[in-house]
Amino acid sequence: MNTTVKMENKIAPYQMLLDAMETTHELVEKILPETGIPSLKIGLEEIIPVVRKDIEKAREGVPIVGYHFAFQADYLKCFDCVPICLEGVSYFLSTLLINGVEKYYDVIGNWGHPFHTCSAQKGAMGMSLENLYHFDAIITPTAPCDSTCASYPFFKYEKKFPLIIADMPFLHDEKSYEYYAEQLKLSLYSLGEVIGQEPDFDKMRKALEVENEVSKLRMELFDLIKAVPSPIENIFNPIAAASTVFISGAPENISFYSRILEIAKSRYKNNNHHGGEERIRSIWPYMVTFFDISLCEWLDRELGMSVLLDIFNYNLSDPIDTKSDLDTLFYGMARKAMGWPMVKQSTEFYYPFLDDCIRMAKDFSADCFIYTQSIACKQFGGIPQLLREALRDEVGIPMLVIDFDVGDARITSAKAIKDKISMFVQTLL
């Protein structure tokens, strides 16, 4: 086996993802009409070249750095490395492959990892056990949840991948931001030592500036989503999560949001809804499914239900000050990291989460909430009843709770999810 092939094999799941994205893109191009599902088409067009470039770099021997999605990909731009989001790759493989990555959930389950932990990590753990991944290092914060903290040591102790951990405080206050800023800096220096590189913070500043620009575009888009009917299609939600995972800090992310914004503006001007008619406006404060994103289309087209926001898309952060000194830079990075999707909701107490939900329900004229609950998210488990009462008392809208696993169709099937939503909708119309 020559060296090139060896390097490529260090990230076989990433190559599988690229193949699956290219096939999907081809189908989208050939089968769907021009007006089909624009966010899917645009997302694939912007993401595929970035993943392709990463795979080329991996072939050249550039270090492979695995990271938890709660560690921002653009912060890793201070290195010449191939960043692989452990959760992102397996979840989007669960979207694009028939039967997803269920095989790997079983591999790690049979090895002895508890069934009630998160499929976000279980996919990558099973793949590592099968030697599909060979990371030069892995970096993660101690967030967003106990499931993360209990799963990542597997990579260190079983697979012997160097593991770097940035300690994130639970409370969100000035002292915590300062502490986490220091932790971020230390963790990047530690990562540099492991992969034999000095962090280039000027290079990182440029990636942060790209994301500052993306934040402005997202802000504009959010204002448009407040309109009735919503000018985005439901699939935008999982595709936007993919853009955050795979192209953060790359100019392609600006292009992705600029193109989506243009479509949203045009729909807004013409009062168009992707599904034809918007009958119900829903907010999903947790996740939509990854194992079957056609659910998004079904909601749009069959029920006329818009998914205005899901957990990956309602967190907006202040721009990071990239022009001042390093301490200011890292302080801004820490604030952004602690306000990151799922991190913001899962750390601290639940009051800010309830407040956010009530504010969003009012600002976005929501008719209902749909709360998907996974057995892995222990920290979310106590919230549904409180949120249901808060939404009923403060906004007068109902909430449906669905137990599921976002990546594993065997827990609650797409059909069961559709049946539950169909019944719930009868109570709304």
Q: Which residues contact 336 (CB under 8 A, 6 or more apart)?
A: 72, 317, 318, 320
Specify the amino acid at residue 89: V
CB of 105 to ligand SF4, least distance (A): 13
Q: Which of 118, 125, 329, 368 binds ligand SF4 (CB under 6 A)?
A: 118
DSSP letter (8 states) at residue 61: T
- Complex with ligand SF4: residue 123 or 231, whichever CB lies closer: 123
88 binds ligand SF4 (CB under 6 A): no
Q: How would DSSP label each residue in 265-333?
A: HHHHHHT--TTS---EEEE-SS---STTTHHHHHIIIII-EEEEE-TTTS---PPP--SS-HHHHHHHH
Residue 120 contacts ligand SF4 per CB under 6 A: yes
CA atoms of 331 and 256, how far apart (whole Å): 27
The residue (of 147 and 176) whose beta carbon lies closer to ligand SF4 is 147
Q: Considering the rule CB under 6 A, would residue 299 count as an interface residue with ligand SF4?
A: no
Total residues at interface with ligand SF4 (CB under 6 A): 11
Instruction: Pick the closer one to ligand SF4 by CB: 191 or 376.
Output: 376
Which one, 144 or 249, has the nearer CB to ligand SF4? Answer: 144
Taking CB under 6 A as the criterion, the residue among 17, 214, 250, 377 binding ligand SF4 is 377
DSSP letter (8 states) at residue 371: E
Handedness of CA 152, 157, 163, 167 (dihedral sign): positive
Q: Looking at this protein, which amino acid is placed at residue 167?
A: D
241: contact with ligand SF4 by CB under 6 A: no
- In one-letter notation, the amino acid at residue 80 is D
Contact indicator for 337, 138 with CB cutoff of 8 Å: no
Regarding 143 and contact with ligand SF4 (CB under 6 A), the answer is no
What is the rounded CA–CA span in Å between residue 8 and residue 4? 6
Question: With binding defined as CB under 6 A, does residue 342 bind ligand SF4?
Answer: yes
Distance CA 322, CA 328 (A): 8
Least distance to ligand SF4 from the beta carbon of 380, Å? 7
Q: Residues 144-173: x/- map of binding to ligand SF4 (CB under 6 A)?
A: xx-xx-------------------------
Q: How far is the CB of 126 from ligand SF4 (least distance, A)?
A: 15
* Residue among 258 and 373 whose Cβ is closer to ligand SF4: 373
Q: Which is nearer to ligand SF4, 177 or 290 (CB)?
A: 290
CB of 311 to ligand SF4, least distance (A): 9
- 237 vs 322, which CB is nearer to ligand SF4? 237
319 CB burial (10 A radius; 0-12, 13-18, 19+): middle
**Chain residues that interact with ligand SF4, rule: CB under 6 A:** 118, 120, 144-145, 147-148, 342, 346, 374, 376-377
